[in-house]
Amino acid sequence: MNSTPQLLSEHACFGGVQRFYQHASREIGLPMRFSVFLPPQAEQGKVPALLYLAGLTCTEETFMVKAGAQRMAAELGLALIAPDTSPRGANVPGEAESWDFGTGAGFYLDASQAPWSSHYRMESYLTAELLPLLTNTLPLDVERIGIFGHSMGGHGALTLALRHPALFKSVSAFAPICAPSQCPWGRKAFAGYLGADESRWLAHDATALMNGRASAPFPGGILIDQGLADPFLAEQLHPHLFEAVCASAGQPLTLRRHAGYDHSYYFIATFMADHIGHHARLLEA
């Protein structure tokens, strides 16, 4: 399979174009799929881009189909990028046994434990391969890239932004897993991908990464929306822990709690325009 992205489908959308691609990934060692929305402004020159990371069990299609982001992205001239959530077809023993680990649950990190370390390299895939590939082949401005996501993808957005502040100029999240080393989803994933030494987990935990910072890594602010009817809030998400370390570090954080909203894309679609606007302001600044 050729490493050049193969266009699988293309759809006119709000004056721009919605595309779905497949390519042979060097970092993953397998074919990977991703989707891109290019706004109409991309016909005139390079545009800012937002990388969206989806949650457990999702694919590169979930966000583009369900979130309702293209209309405002087209109005504001923002491209949207959505990768898959894990390698597919790695044939690692156990990768398909549970919905919260393995296939569809890559947690946006590079696994260090065999057999996962051979293919489960989502952090390097995104930062060292996919984004360079797209900024070199599409009219995307490499100096204006933001990142956001939902649940596991919210965890990914926060941690990758904090680990790669020179790459990402803005960050937001919907119902993120804010302290994965302190919740069942994260502990299961980290033990499998990173091993039993819990001190190594902290490099992929947004609350731990923000803790003890002497200055704000994102002075323009971080936006998080959380539904109070989210069934995973109490056990898995822990936004109050991230809120506390942001306050200690002087990191501006807008953490909005919404009565009645759950963990679904109905919640995400409701507040999507606010997130698109948040990134547009920071990427234009």
Q: Sign (positive/negative) of CA torsion 10, 81, 185, 105?
A: positive
Closest listed residue to residue 150, CA positions, set 260, 98, 224, 243:
224
Q: Which DSSP category does 112 fall into? A: -
Closest listed residue to residue 84, CA positions, set 20, 29, 144, 168:
20
Six-digit token pair at 195?
């091993």
The maximal CA–CA distance of the chain, rounded, in angstroms, is 51
141, containing H or E segment:
strand 140-150
Is 230 an annotated catalytic residue? yes
Give residue 72's Cα distance to chain centre.
19
Six-digit token pair at 118?
């051979």
- Rounded distance between C-alpha atoms, residue 25 and residue 143, angstroms: 23
Burial label for 272, CB within 10 Å (0-12, 13-18, 19+), is: buried
- Rounded distance between C-alpha atoms, residue 50 and residue 29, angstroms: 25
Catalytic hit among 23, 230, 275, 278: 230
**Cβ atoms < 10 Å from Cβ of 165:** 12
Catalytic hit among 25, 35, 86, 151: 151
- Rounded distance between C-alpha atoms, residue 71 and residue 246, angstroms: 32
Catalytic hit among 263, 275, 278, 279: 263
Residues taking part in catalysis:
151, 230, 263
